[in-house]
Amino acid sequence: MMLQTADLDRAFHALADPTRRGMVDRLTEGPASVKELAAPLPMALPSVLKHLRVLEAGGIVMSEKAGRVRTYRIEPAALAGIEEWVSRRKAAWSRQFDRLEEYLSGQDQTPQKETRK
């Protein structure tokens, strides 16, 4: 599933912060409550909630509320979209390096003109 430009922008913005990437790392182990996600962080709960809202707006995580507990989990489709975008760029870069390698290999086989002194 290829993400649209605006969705991709929001996803990359959500992952641009190390705190949010840490939350994503934690959520790859399984769903977690806000309290569990906030526990290792040196910040107030409102700041944690802001980070979680950015992740949710970026489509990286989704949440559900059961009673007073809000639980977050990874949204695999968003990560798949990012992975697809990166894979396309990687394939393009690989093709360019392959062409460069072919060019340079051809240069090695071309006889060099001797310079006269």
Can you give the chain as a three-state secondary structure string? CCCCHHHHHHHHHHHCCHHHHHHHHHHCCCCEEHHHHHCCCCCCHHHHHHHHHHHHHCCCEEEEEECCEEEEEECHHHHHHHHHHHHHHHHHHHHHHHHHHHHHHHHHHCCCCCCCC
Q: Is the pTM of this model over 0.85?
A: no
pLDDT in tens, 20-63: 999 999 999 999 999 999 999 999 999 999 999 999 999 999 99
Percentage of the chain beyond pLDDT 70 is 89
Domains of the chain: 1-108 (1.10.10.10)
- Asked if 37 and 72 count as a contact pair (C-beta separation under 8 A), the reply is yes
Q: What is the pLDDT of residue 79?
A: 86
- Kindly report the average pLDDT of the chain as a whole number: 89
Mean pLDDT of the 64-79 span: 94
Average pLDDT over residues 6-11: 91
